Amino acid sequence: EVQLVESGGGLVQPGRSLRLSCTASGFSFGDYTVTWVRQAPGKGLEWVGIIRSKTYSGTTEYAASVKGRFSISRDDSRSIAYLQMNSLKTEDTAVYYCTRGRREPDYWGQGTLVTVSS
């Protein structure tokens, strides 16, 4: 069974950092692009960024709203993707989801809530 489990969310002050993890199971993790999507409370879905598989050089792309502050990495040996979030702002408050795939994300995790507040 394909599963994605996010972790690492919590309450953090503006300007601080947080790292989220996405632990995958049930499929060959290294063969897939991982996408991070977020959803602010009561709002819609927003693309955050992607990390491609090693087949495609493991390159990353980011939404303009997080570029330069967020970075995505992966450890295929452990089937984990990471979202490193620096210089957090109050507007980054959201549930963060990881998904499998980029053009047709099929499986999603349950999400982890990040609250940025003083």
Partner 1 sequence: DVVMTQSPLSLPVILGQPASISCRSSQSLVYSDGNTYLNWFHQRPGQSPRRLIYKVSNRDSGVPDRFSGSGSGTDFTLKISRVEAEDVGVYYCMQGTHWPGAFGQGTKVEIK
| Interface ranges with partner 1 (CB under 8 A) | 35, 44-47, 61, 63-64, 97, 102-106, 108-111
Q: Which is nearer to partner 1, 2 or 16 (CB)?
A: 2
Shortest distance, position 44 Cβ to partner 1, whole Å: 5
Shortest distance, position 16 Cβ to partner 1, whole Å: 25
CA 96 vs. chain centroid, Å, equals 6
Shortest distance, position 15 Cβ to partner 1, whole Å: 25
Q: Which is nearer to partner 1, 32 or 97 (CB)?
A: 97
Bridge partner list, 96:
38, 112
Spatial CB neighbours of 98, under 8 Å, sequence gap ≥ 6: 4, 6, 20, 22, 34, 35, 36, 37, 81, 83, 108, 109
Q: How many CB atoms lie within 10 A of CB 71?
A: 17
Q: Which is nearer to partner 1, 28 or 110 (CB)?
A: 110
Shortest distance, position 53 Cβ to partner 1, whole Å: 16
Q: Which is nearer to partner 1, 77 or 104 (CB)?
A: 104
Q: Is the distance from CB of 48 to CB of 96 less than 8 angstroms?
A: yes
